[in-house]
């Protein structure tokens, strides 16, 4: 399943990242890497943007970008 | 005395700027949103027999070159002139911060680490064994708190020590397969007796990452023919071992593993104390999917209400003060040209600008608070879905909101957008967000035409309408001139922090000083110039004619007054300023502007504050006799119709930014070409929309 399908308040582990180089790099520097535990904090009303937390880093990303992150 | 040149590097919001302030008495803008420090700034100070020269580089998460900030930082680290790198870390988020440290260590430069935010780390149950970490990394790591000013002396000591001792070689030990390939390459270079100005291991890593610059360099060298097959072999080994062909990704995995290892061996976490709690609780409300957006809109609305309501109190005093000064000057110097240039020119013009200082201070205090608390990032999160629909980026919100303050910092803040196309698009529409200097224009005209109880709402409406037009323009541009892929949105949401008084004070005082400086220099000069242009050339014959007429009707107050007005108007219309206004009137005629409004807009190209100053002079000189309607607002009401007032607001809202801002735009957008495009785009949009507004309003209010 992909990260955009994870419910608010739930956690999961990242298995693969299928992003192009630039996005992958960005993910990387925030700690969005294989094996990290990701927690969903919030979705916006229109479900276009979401807030996640990995360790101590909170970040916002678009749902279209979360689609590129596989979790289990 | 020796000079130590320091490159200050760290991820955004780790307290770099605060740390510099703790070093010495230096001024820097400090903010809690990634991207506030967009330009590198250099600060000099002397301490313990050494001169320090610190370059505060823009915050970057890693040494890549996707964003302008990262590019600035990377280029400076590669080619800049510095003795050592001071890497500032947020101790509460040590692992992610160490990613960057690992990249810096691979650069083969002297590095000193400041483990900042020590106070918060202890509160959150993060205990870093700095001795152990120093040993692991082979460099000095000093715990500091820029806020509590602890560990500063120790940090300075470590910097001086690192400066005085020779550089140690790279200490990092990657995983065995990676080290193996590194060793192969370095020993090849040694065998070949290759002369390199950078460390061989650093060079090897760059080759293993397929660094484009290094590649370009090697392609012209003789050694390349032998090196290339070797590299290909190494790549194959890595591909097989890591099961991916992403060489950069492999390096990052290695680097992250090092960071993880270092944290494991030197940091203890007391999870009981882990308090993400407060930020979580606040976010539960502020980024809530239902109430988050209404709260944001309410905060913005409140800010504009306060700007208007509270601002009007000191405005009355300032108005009275300058009024008294004008009268005083005139009675002191008599009815002379000198008195007129000082009172009607300089004092009236500068006074009209200073009048709005309270508004500016309140608005910027609000924006500074939003930035410093970390709320800005939440706003970007809430707004991205909406902005994205218009082809913009959630982060565009930062320059756009700053645009309500002043376009100059707003254009610079557009650097938070890393994709050039997104940034250009944002730059083009930033002008639609009415800057602080346009506020006086709106306040003056709304104040003249609307009932006081509606003024605040109308002002808010004007701002919203401008922003709305900006979005429509963005969509139009995105569908035509700026077609293409979107940049990733991924953005950090910093922890909520109580802003310190100093932080807000610095930000606001800087803006206020900038505004006042403009008033004292540029606008003073412009006011005198406008006074001159509106008083010359003289028409002595005409004046003599009128004098005889006035003598003839002497005794009849009414007629004398009428004649005097007629004379003033004649003189004004035929002055240099009047001539310019008349010449351009055909252009403004369809919008219902008289020549005075045309002139005010034209002088506003120098600075928007001048629009009000010009109107003050032009409408003020016209009827000196009239005691009752002494305020500018009353004079406007007497001379301008409501539809043309509305058209005027719209034109002023959209047309070309002031000289200072347009020059910054030129720099940020990258050339005169864009400057010219912007001129055409804004002038055309302003004229067309003002014309539509004028036409509709004429029908409604006729
Ligand atoms: N508790 C604590 N807060 C700090 C410390 N240093 C900086 N801050 C806060 O961190 C935020 C970002 O600081 P700033 O200097 O702008 O970071 P920069 O982006 O790295 O320049 C501000 O809200 C500061 O008040 C520190 O040592 N302790
Ligand atoms: Mg800073």
| Four-residue CA torsion sign, B158, B111, A30, A32 | negative
Q: Are residues B26 and B134 in the same domain?
A: yes
If phi > 0 it is left, if psi is from -120 to 50 it is alpha, else beta; for residue B270 that is beta
* pLDDT per position as a tens digit, B321-363: 988 998 898 888 887 888 888 888 888 878 877 877 887 788 7
Instruction: Say if the Cβ atoms of A43 and B289 lie within 8 Å.
Output: yes
Does the C-beta of B146 come closer than 6 Å to ligand 1?
yes
3-state secondary structure of A61: strand
B5 class by beta-carbon count within 10 Å (0-12 exposed, 13-18 middle, 19+ buried):
middle
From start to end of A18-68, where are the E strands?
A: 37-43, 49-54, 57-62
Q: Which ligand is nearest to the CA of B39?
A: 2
Contacts of B458 (CB under 8 A, 6+ apart): B446, B450
Residue B242 is predicted with a pLDDT of: 87
Residue A42 is part of which domain span?
Answer: 3-71
Six token digits for residue B215: 């590649």
In contact, B632 and B322? CB cutoff 8 Å = no
3-state secondary structure of A69: strand
β partners of residue B6: B54, B84
Q: Are residues B140 and B61 in the same domain?
A: yes
Whether the per-residue pLDDT at B38 is higher than 60: the answer is: no
Does the C-beta of B341 come closer than 6 Å to ligand 1?
no
- Contact residues, chain B, for A55 at CB < 8 Å: 93, 95-96
Least confident piece of the model among A34-48, B5-19, B392-406:
B392-406
Beta strands at B41-47 and B84-90: parallel, antiparallel or unpaired: unpaired
DSSP run (H or E) holding B47 = strand B41-47
Length of chain A as a residue count? 72
Residue B183 is part of which domain span?
Answer: 176-273
In contact, B90 and B117? CB cutoff 8 Å = yes
The secondary structure of chain B in percent helix, strand, coil, rounded to multiples of 5, reads 70, 5, 25
Peptide bond into B537 cis (omega under 30): yes
Does the C-beta of B643 come closer than 6 Å to ligand 1?
no
Alpha-carbon separation of residue B128 from A59, B122, B133 (angstroms): 24, 9, 8
Residues of A with CB under 8 A from a CB of B: 21-34, 41-46, 48-49, 51, 53, 55-62, 65
Length of chain B as a residue count? 702
* pLDDT per position as a tens digit, B55-69: 888 888 988 877 777
Whether the per-residue pLDDT at B624 is higher than 50: the answer is: no
Q: Are residues B534 and B555 in the same domain?
A: yes
Position with higher pLDDT, B403 vs B101: B101
B136 inside domain: yes
Q: Are residues B117 and B52 in the same domain?
A: yes
Which residues of chain A carry a pLDDT beneath 50?
Answer: none
In contact, A5 and A22? CB cutoff 8 Å = no
Residue B406 is predicted with a pLDDT of: 74
- Contact residues, chain B, for A41 at CB < 8 Å: 280, 283, 287
Q: Are residues B142 and B229 in the same domain?
A: no
Q: Are residues B203 and B138 in the same domain?
A: no
Position with higher pLDDT, B572 vs B358: B358
Q: What is the ipTM of this complex?
A: 0.95
Domain total for chain A? 1
Contacts of B594 (CB under 8 A, 6+ apart): B585, B639, B640, B644
Q: Are residues B229 and B98 in the same domain?
A: no
Tell me what the pLDDT averaged over chain B comes to: 85
Residue B418 is predicted with a pLDDT of: 67
Residue B25 is predicted with a pLDDT of: 61
Which has the closest alpha carbon to B461: B654, B649, B694, B688? B649
Cα–Cα distance, B637 to A34 (Å, whole number)? 68
Q: Are residues B210 and B122 in the same domain?
A: no
Q: Which of B14, B18, B57, B152 to mutate to test the pocket of ligand 1 (most atoms within 8 A of CB)?
A: B18
In contact, A66 and A2? CB cutoff 8 Å = yes
3-state secondary structure of A50: strand
Which has the closest alpha carbon to B508: B580, B409, B381? B409
| Four-residue CA torsion sign, A59, A61, A66, A69 | negative
Contacts of B93 (CB under 8 A, 6+ apart): A55, A56, A57
Residue B36 is predicted with a pLDDT of: 45
B372 inside domain: no
Which has the closest alpha carbon to B326: B621, B535, B61? B621
Position with higher pLDDT, B181 vs B616: B181
Closest Cα to atom 8, ligand 1: which residue?
A: B15
Closest Cα to atom 14, ligand 1: which residue?
A: B15
Q: Are residues B93 and B219 in the same domain?
A: no
Q: Are residues B150 and B187 in the same domain?
A: no
Six token digits for residue B66: 């996707």
Beta strands at B491-492 and A57-62: parallel, antiparallel or unpaired: antiparallel
The domain boundary residue, chosen from B108, B137, B164: B164
Cα–Cα distance, B263 to B126 (Å, whole number)? 11
Cα–Cα distance, A54 to B3 (Å, whole number)? 41
Six token digits for residue B467: 């922003």
Using the CB atoms, write b or e for A1-30: b if 16+ within 10 Å: eebbebeeeeebebeebebeeebbbbbbbb
B290 inside domain: no
pTM higher than 0.90 = no
B260 inside domain: yes
In contact, B47 and B125? CB cutoff 8 Å = no
Which has the closest alpha carbon to B23: B120, B112, B114, B149? B149
Least confident piece of the model among B30-39, B135-144, B333-342, B344-353:
B30-39
In angstroms, what separates the C-alpha of B428 from chain A's closest C-alpha? 24
Alpha-carbon separation of residue B73 from B106, B218, B341, B419 (angstroms): 15, 24, 50, 17
Instruction: Say if the Cβ atoms of A46 and B385 lie within 8 Å.
Output: yes
Which has the closest alpha carbon to B123: B439, B495, B513? B495
Task: Give B620's pLDDT tier (boundaries 50, 70, 90).
Answer: low
R_g of chain B, CA atoms, integer Å: 31
Domain total for chain B? 3
Does the C-beta of B506 come closer than 6 Å to ligand 1?
no
Does the C-beta of B13 come closer than 6 Å to ligand 1?
yes
The domain boundary residue, chosen from B164, B184, B201: B164
B410 inside domain: no
Q: Which of B19, B30, B39, B500 to mutate to test the pocket of ligand 1 (most atoms within 8 A of CB)?
A: B30
Residue B39 is predicted with a pLDDT of: 59
Q: Where are the alpha helices (DSSP H) in B396-497?
A: 397-405, 407-413, 420-430, 439-449, 452-479
The domain boundary residue, chosen from B164, B189, B205: B164
* pLDDT per position as a tens digit, B458-488: 988 998 899 999 999 999 998 888 887 777 8
β partners of residue B9: B87
DSSP character string of B500-547: PHHHHHHHHHHHHHHHHHHIIIIIHHHHHHHHHHHH-S--HHHHHHHH
3-state secondary structure of B437: coil
- Domain with A65 in it: what CATH number? 2.30.30.90
- Contact residues, chain A, for B495 at CB < 8 Å: 58
């Amino acid at each position: 399943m992909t990260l955009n399908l994870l419910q608010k308040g739930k956690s999961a582990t990242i298995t693969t990242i299928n992003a192009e180089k630039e996005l992958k790099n960005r993910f990387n520097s925030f700690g969005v890497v294989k094996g990290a535990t990701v927690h969903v904090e919030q979705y916006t009303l229109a479900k276009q943007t979401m807030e996640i937390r990995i360790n101590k880093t909170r970040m916002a990303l678009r749902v279209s970008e979360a689609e590129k992150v596989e979790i289990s | 005395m020796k000079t130590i040149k320091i490159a200050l590097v760290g991820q955004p919001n780790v307290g770099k700027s605060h740390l510099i302030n703790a070093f010495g008495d230096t001024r820097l803008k400090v903010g809690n949103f990634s991207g506030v420090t967009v330009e590198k700034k250099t600060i000099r100070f002397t301490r313990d027999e050494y001169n320090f020269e610190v370059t505060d580089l823009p915050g970057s998460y890693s040494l890549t070159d996707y964003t302008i900030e990262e590019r600035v930082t990377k280029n400076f680290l590669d080619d800049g002139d510095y003795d050592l790198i001071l890497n500032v870390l947020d101790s509460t988020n040590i692992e992610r911060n160490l990613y960057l440290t690992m990249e810096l260590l691979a650069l083969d430069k002297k590095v000193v680490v400041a483990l900042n935010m020590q106070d918060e780390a202890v509160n959150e149950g993060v205990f870093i064994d700095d001795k152990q970490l120093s040993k692991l990394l082979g460099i000095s790591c000093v715990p500091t708190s820029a806020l509590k000013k602890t560990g500063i002396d120790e940090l300075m000591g470590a910097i001086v020590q690192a400066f005085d001792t020779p550089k140690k070689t790279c200490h990092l030990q990657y995983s065995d397969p990676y080290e193996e390939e590194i060793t192969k390459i370095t020993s090849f270079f040694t065998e070949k007796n290759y002369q390199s100005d950078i460390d061989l291991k650093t060079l090897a890593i760059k080759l293993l990452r397929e660094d484009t610059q290094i590649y370009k360099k090697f392609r012209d060298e003789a050694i390349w023919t032998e090196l290339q097959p070797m590299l290909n072999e190494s790549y194959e080994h890595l591909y097989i071992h890591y099961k991916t062909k992403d060489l950069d990704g492999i390096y990052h995995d290695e680097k992250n593993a090092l960071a993880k290892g270092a944290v494991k061996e030197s940091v203890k976490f007391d999870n009981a104390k882990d308090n993400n709690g407060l930020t979580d609780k606040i976010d539960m409300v502020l980024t809530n999917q239902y109430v988050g957006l209404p709260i944001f809109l309410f905060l913005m609305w409140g800010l504009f209400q306060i700007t208007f309501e509270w601002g009007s109190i000191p405005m009355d005093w300032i108005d009275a003060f300058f009024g008294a000064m004008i009268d005083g000057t005139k009675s002191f110097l008599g009815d002379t040209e000198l008195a007129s240039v000082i009172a009607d020119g300089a004092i009236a013009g500068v006074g009209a600008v200073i009048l709005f200082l309270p508004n500016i201070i309140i608005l910027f205090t609000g924006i500074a608070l939003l930035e410093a608390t970390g709320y800005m990032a939440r706003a970007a999160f809430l707004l991205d879905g909406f902005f994205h629909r218009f082809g913009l980026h959630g982060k565009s919100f930062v320059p756009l909101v700053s645009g309500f303050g002043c376009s100059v910092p707003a254009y610079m803040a557009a650097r938070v957008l890393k994709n050039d196309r997104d940034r250009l698009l944002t730059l083009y529409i930033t002008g639609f967000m009415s800057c602080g200097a346009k506020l006086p224009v709106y306040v003056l005209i709304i104040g003249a035409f609307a009932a006081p109880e509606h003024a605040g709402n109308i002002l808010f409406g004007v701002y919203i309408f401008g922003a709305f037009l900006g979005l429509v323009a963005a969509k139009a541009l995105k569908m035509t001139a700026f077609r293409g892929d979107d940049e990733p949105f991924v953005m950090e949401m910093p922890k909520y922090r109580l802003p310190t008084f100093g932080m807000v004070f610095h930000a606001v005082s800087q803006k206020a000083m900038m505004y006042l400086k403009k008033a004292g220099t540029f606008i003073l000069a412009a006011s005198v110039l406008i006074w001159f242009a509106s008083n010359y050339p003289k028409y002595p014959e005409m004046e003599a004619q009128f004098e005889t007429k006035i003598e003839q009707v002497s005794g009849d107050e009414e007629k004398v007054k009428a004649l005097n007005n007629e004379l003033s108007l004649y003189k004004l219309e035929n002055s240099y300023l009047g001539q310019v206004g008349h010449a351009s009137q055909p252009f403004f005629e369809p919008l219902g502007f008289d020549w005075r409004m045309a002139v005010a807009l034209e002088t506003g190209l120098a600075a928007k504050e001048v629009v009000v100053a010009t109107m003050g002079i032009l409408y003020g000189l016209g009827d000196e006799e009239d005691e009752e309607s002494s305020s500018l607002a009353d004079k406007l009401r007497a001379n301008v119709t409501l539809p043309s007032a509305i058209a005027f607001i719209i034109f002023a809202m959209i047309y070309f930014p002031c000289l200072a801002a347009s020059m910054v735009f030129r720099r940020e957008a990258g050339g005169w070409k864009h400057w010219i495009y912007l001129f055409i785009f804004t002038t055309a949009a302003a004229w067309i929309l003002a014309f539509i507004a004028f036409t509709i309003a004429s029908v409604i209010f006729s």
